[in-house]
Homo-oligomer: A and B are copies of this chain.
């Protein structure tokens, strides 16, 4: 499971980095805590971070269970697509919210594949 562990850690580090970008945007656009609105570009970073949180809580258990019940190498490869997809999502969303679609798809599709694959893998052993 080491490849899966490494990919999970890369996804976590990416998420922490996105959080740092939110902090930087707070300073740059003058949006002071606890406010979470007030400047359009700040709000884009904030929503990317928040949306990545929403993905991450599904991604981590899904990749781990896929790695356990289906195949760890495929789990790690799908996980890498997710990590890269999130970078494209960040770049697209910050440039223009309408441009977030490609990165969104590239990070959502591997998560759906991990989720359904893991359900098939674990469900098969239940029956």
| Chain A interface (Cβ < 8 Å from any Cβ of B) | 2-3, 5-6, 8-10, 12-13, 15-16, 19, 32-34, 36, 40, 43-44, 46-47, 49, 53-54, 56-58, 60-62, 65, 68-69, 97, 100, 111-112, 115, 118-119, 122-123, 125-126
Task: Give Cα distance in the complex from A62 to B61, angstroms.
Answer: 12
Tell which of B9, B32, B125 touches A2, judged by Cβ atoms closer than 8 Å: B125
If the complex has contacts A47-B34, A97-B33, are A6 and B119 also in contact, measured as CB distance less than 8 A? yes
Task: Give Cα distance in the complex from A16 to B19, angstroms.
Answer: 22
Question: What's the number of copies of this chain in the assembled complex?
Answer: 3
Task: Give Cα distance in the complex from A29 to B6, angstroms.
Answer: 41
Q: Are B13 and A115 in contact (CB under 8 A)?
A: yes
What are 16 A-B pairs with beta-carbon distances under 8 A?
A2-B125, A5-B68, A5-B122, A8-B65, A9-B61, A9-B62, A9-B122, A10-B119, A13-B115, A15-B58, A16-B112, A19-B54, A34-B97, A49-B54, A57-B57, A60-B61
Which B residue's beta carbon lies closest to that of A69?
B5
Tell which of B53, B62, B125 touches A12, judged by Cβ atoms closer than 8 Å: B62
